[in-house]
Amino acid sequence: MVKTYQNMDILLLKKGNSFQARITNSPAGQAHCDFDIPDNTDAIAACIGSYTKSRSFELPQGFSLNGSACSSDTLPDTLKKIGSALFDVIFKDSMQECLERSLYLSKNNDLRIRLQFSNDAPELVPLPWEYFYNKEEERFLALSTKTPIIRCPELMHDTHTVSVQLPLQILVIISSPKDLALLDVETEWKNLTSSLQALIDDNLVVIKRLATSSIRSLQHELQRKQYHVIHYIGHSDFDANSNNAFLMFEDKESNSAKLEAESFGKLLRDEKSIRLVILNSCEGSKASDTIFFSGVALSLLKKKIPAVIAMQFEISDSAAIIFSSDFYTALANGLPIEESLTEARKAIDIRLNPIEWGTPTLYMRSSNSNLFTLTLPDKPSPKLIEPEKKSKNKTMLFTVSLGILALIITLSMFALKDFFIAEKEDENPILYAAKDPVAPPVVAAGRSVIAPITAGFDCTKARTLSEKAVCSSSSTANIDKDLNTVYARVVSKLPPPLVKEVDEQEQDWLVSRDHYIEQNCILSSRAKRETCIIAYYQARIVILKRIERRESTKFTKVTVIDPPSNIRLEPNGDVSCKIRTKKQIEVYNISIMDDSHSKWFWTKACGSWAVIHGSQIR
């Protein structure tokens, strides 16, 4: 059930040599208190940063955290101490009373805590307020959907809810300029896509990677297509003289190109469909990235971006995968953004570690947290990366899917009952065949007979129910052969790293196929069984063909400029062949790096896949 929150707005501002917290709006009225920053709260960033990088917990010199070492055993307790210190300096006396009364008065005790930072107190922004810890109740506020924590500008604005027909369109920017600390770009992309694979398969999310991480490419892509979420992975910077935050993009030579946060906001503000920006400092980025992201986030809010999630500490790959999967799942299920984030926090806390859940920070300018009104696509089918344009037929409300799912489950249970009552071979030929590991394929309802049917695999070696079902008729066996043909054609055109990626996807699909056929197809009549199996195979074939079309656009013709040029089996590896004259060759235009950070490009100029150094081509 989607929650309806009441708000507690807390303004944090400078007062003389200390600070003041004011509850300007709450169900219980107003309150205020003066406070000082607790000792060593800024040390927690060093603790979490060292945890993320090496699981080693040594604090920088000068930090004591009340004598407690930031070890792997004590870090969870340290977070409670820091969170408790922050909670106690804010929620004391009349502020504490106001919080308790607001929780009591709010419907279902659902109270959204919105922190607003005055411009005269920038030193308060980097503090880890998400770790507010109530000692009496023994809980972190941000780990409950009843008390989510949001960061806001001083002035909030009502923002309209955008109606979105699923799938959500996500544009991913992964920027790793060669003159900055290099990120493992392909690993970041693989982690993100794998974390969202279930949503992609269910047609709830489409994820597109910006081909080149340049400012120009971003502008052109926004002109070409509407997106709902921008997900940036990379570096940031800050100019103390101009007080400007920057995101780092790439120029033509793949060096860093600064884009002011204000300019980034200008690119996005006219795109009415964009409701959320995520700023991710991944493993390998510098510590200052997470600090400067807060400046970028606040600048984007000023440019009327409704919501920004920024990582306040470096986040590990494992935590980033769980965050993406659970956050986008909750968002696609129609939950408000703060509730979606809380679900992701809980997932990290329960499934990974009790530390990194506080790394994501939610900034909002909108008092309306329902960023989207979601409707189902006209014709749901598995989609990967680049969906085909859908017709604009009448849509259904997203919640209707729950009723449909319940109906399917109910009908399946009745069918299952009837199925297991039947015991004769002629009533359930495929199940009967499964009892005998060497039973031949079934080709006629009610009779188990041998027939010369061939699929993409040897039907005489079919063992599982799903394999026997595929081999039970020529039409289902033929669709399996068609899939094999398309798959072989696709992988023949891809460089080795992508072949491995597509092969892993195919193995996952085969597992899903077995489960789907056994759960949805086998209980049906022969005709319905064939239709069920063929439809599932056709969806996979569509995905593979889309991969084929997408990857075909990533090849480009270049000229070998300084022959003779060696083409090697791998970067700095054995020579596959030599190009002895200036000539054009075709390369895959996404480069790989060697240990010295040189760029290499995949090519079939030698007849089989090998690499050529980027300095040899233009």
Most confidently modeled of 16-20, 278-282, 432-436, 543-547? 16-20
Mean predicted lDDT score pLDDT of the chain: 78
The pLDDT score that the predictor gives to residue 373 is 77
Stretch among 11-15, 116-120, 260-264, 458-462 having the lowest mean pLDDT: 458-462
Task: Give the residues across from 601 on adjacent strands.
Answer: 612
Instruction: Note the pLDDT tens digit of each residue in 363-378.
Output: 998 777 778 777 766 5
Cα 556 from chain centroid (whole Å):
29
Q: What DSSP string describes 362-379?
A: EEESBS----EEEE--SS
CB of 265 within 8 A of CB of 300? yes
pTM, entire model: 0.59
Residue range 13-33, pLDDT digits in tens? 999 999 999 999 999 999 999
The closest alpha carbon to 595, from 616, 571, 576, belongs to 571
pLDDT at 293: 61
* CA neighbor of 150 nearest in space, from 295, 325, 365, 347: 365
Give domain limits for the chain. Answer: 6-152, 162-375, 419-552, 555-616
Which one has a higher pLDDT value, 115 or 403?
115
21 or 517, which is more confident? 21
Residue 363 has φ and ψ, to the nearest 5°, of -110, 135
pLDDT at 546: 77
Residues 616 and 560: their CA atoms lie apart, in Å, by 6
The 10s digit of each residue's pLDDT in 144-188 is: 999 999 998 765 555 667 778 888 999 999 998 998 877 777 888
Q: Are 372 and 166 in contact (CB under 8 A)?
A: no
The 3 state secondary structure assigned to 60-124 is CCCCCCCCCCCCCCCHHHHHHHHHHHHHHHHCCCHHHHHHHHHHHHCHHHCEEEEEEECCCCHHH
Q: How far apart are CA 400 and CA 375, in angstroms?
A: 9
The residue length of the chain stands at 618
Task: Name the 3-class secondary structure at 360.
Answer: strand
Structure tokens at 454: 């061939």
Higher-pLDDT residue of 414 and 462 is 462
Q: With left for phi above 0 and alpha for psi between -120 and 50, is residue 40 left, alpha or beta? A: left
Measured distance CA(338)–CA(158) in Å, rounded = 16
Average pLDDT for 568-589: 86
Instruction: Provide the pLDDT for residue 375.
Output: 74
| CA angle at 544 for the pair 542 and 548, rounded to the nearest 5° | 115
- Identify whether the C-beta of residue 334 lies closer than 8 Å to the C-beta of residue 168: no
Judged by DSSP in three states, 8 sits in: strand
| Structure confidence at residue 320 as a pLDDT band (50, 70, 90) | confident
CATH architecture designation of domain 162-375: 3-Layer(aba) Sandwich (3.40)
pLDDT of residue 462 exceeding 50, the answer is: yes
